[in-house]
Structure 1
């Protein structure tokens, strides 16, 4: 089987792990920098070039590792591979849905995925009243796009929330406002979905003086066993977004598990090292199943 691994660098942990696992299982795998790819259209089948090389029709599957900074260009390349009939673990529509938190929320609600109460508004005239729709007097404020906990703020009061929101709106930064789930205690769960199952899960706890549990923000990790409901919700979320492989982030609330985010290019390093699960190998096995039957 021939696999293209779309990544800007072969030195990244996740890229190396996927490359090594595919090679170990006897597959040809090649790292292709999607930022160096182009598409040529004429009356024939569109061609995909990597630098000056025509790579159209040479892959059975692709593994997109598209960074947030390259979403538009990366998705265009991924979409063309799809249209050319190449299997893809994270389709282009799914990547777009997961990159914009508003789109993610809209799609999850449509598919009955439980989420925290969330408000999106750019109308300052109704904002103060609408904040009362959210439970409590603390609020999570998020940029629509952002990773590793960047662009996520905690407002300790309604007054503070309004000040932050007005500042962001003056900078033309669209945001989401969510209720703060106190009982989550600054912890969330990363469930790594591959196909129709969660292959690994960890609990992420916030670092000192920070409410965000992202490892990149100094948080710690520990292995956790999901409940049957959490497993079901994580898989359903990935599937409804169109992602065969995804990192789904949940929090535990008094009303049950709530999904707060989905990641179409979730990193492997933290969760593989914490759980000792060969997630890269599970991803390659899924590709074998999808392509080879």
Structure 2
């Protein structure tokens, strides 16, 4: 197959691993920066240009789209979709997954466990919002934040009101979420490919840090999921229309709770922690899909 990896930086770990895995399995692979592409729209002729030349003869696309270029990246993916090229991440699923509010709405609609979350706009509602999630401590999240940025733990009602008022003053969209104390600063990243979890790691936040993101100093270790955790992770990815996803969940007294679903999950942390060749699993999935299509 001719596989295109959409990535702004070919030297990134995840991009290199996917390229290596594809070549090891006999596929021709190109890394193309989506931010250096442009699309031309005319009747019955959707075209994508890179380095001022049309991109042709593509069998499959692996999008690695950063959050800062979601809109532009989705446009490039959509153009491939218009050409009937298989892509591991659809344009609609990308946009959907980048919106924390829509993600939680879709998960709750599918009966998937999530921390109780409130989305509000008017500052007069603050006291009631805080009460809805069980009071402080609580979590406040910017809807567009990534890698733990824009996530605040408010230990007291006074601190929560201060943060909420500050975010409101910035006209920022944010969520107020219950704090799952029994998680003890840890979460689980389940890497979903197709209809199964191919690897999982437990991430523990550094000392005095409630966020467990590896980018924030968290440490990863391999973990065997329960059947319920695995089922919920796959169901969460499918609810958002994602074939490949990093599903983050908390272990709580009422069962696994999904906190986030990442549509361009990194490979370095989970491959290092588990020793599993996740990149090869992604390429095998593409091979299976191409046989069906």
Normalising by structure 1, we get a TM-score of 0.98
Q: What is the aligned partner in structure 2 of residue 6 from structure 1?
A: 6
Report SS of the residue matched to 2:225: coil
Q: What is the aligned partner in structure 1 of residue 277 from structure 2?
A: 278
- Verify: 1:50 aligned to 2:50, yes or no: yes
Contact 2:271–2:278 (8 Å) recurs in 1: yes
| 1:213-270 deviation digits (Å, cap 9, x = unpaired) | 0111111111111010000000011111011000000001110000000000000001
- Verify: 1:111 aligned to 2:110, yes or no: yes
Q: What is the aligned partner in structure 2 of residue 151 from structure 1?
A: 150
- Verify: 1:269 aligned to 2:268, yes or no: yes
Task: Show the 5 A alignment for 1:1-293.
Answer: 1-56=1-56, 58-293=57-292
Range that drifts further, 248-257 or 145-154: 145-154
Contact 2:136–2:160 (8 Å) recurs in 1: no
Q: Which runs of 5+ in 1 are unaligned?
A: none
| 1:131-186 deviation digits (Å, cap 9, x = unpaired) | 21112421101110122111111000111111100001101111001000000000
Q: Report how many residues are paired.
A: 292
Report SS of the residue matched to 2:132: coil
Coordinate RMSD, CA, aligned: 0.9
| Structure 2: distance between partners of 1:16 and 1:5 | 10
Report SS of the residue matched to 2:49: strand
Q: Which runs of 5+ in 2 are unaligned?
A: none
Contact 1:213–1:219 (8 Å) recurs in 2: yes
Range that drifts further, 260-269 or 76-85: 76-85
CA-CA distance at 1:191 after TM superposition: 0.1
| Structure 2: distance between partners of 1:71 and 1:236 | 24
Report SS of the residue matched to 1:252: strand
CA-CA distance at 1:44 after TM superposition: 3.0
| Structure 2: distance between partners of 1:150 and 1:246 | 20
Contact 1:7–1:34 (8 Å) recurs in 2: yes
Report SS of the residue matched to 1:132: helix
CA-CA distance at 1:292 after TM superposition: 2.4
Contact 1:138–1:156 (8 Å) recurs in 2: yes
Contact 2:135–2:157 (8 Å) recurs in 1: no
CA-CA distance at 1:112 after TM superposition: 1.4
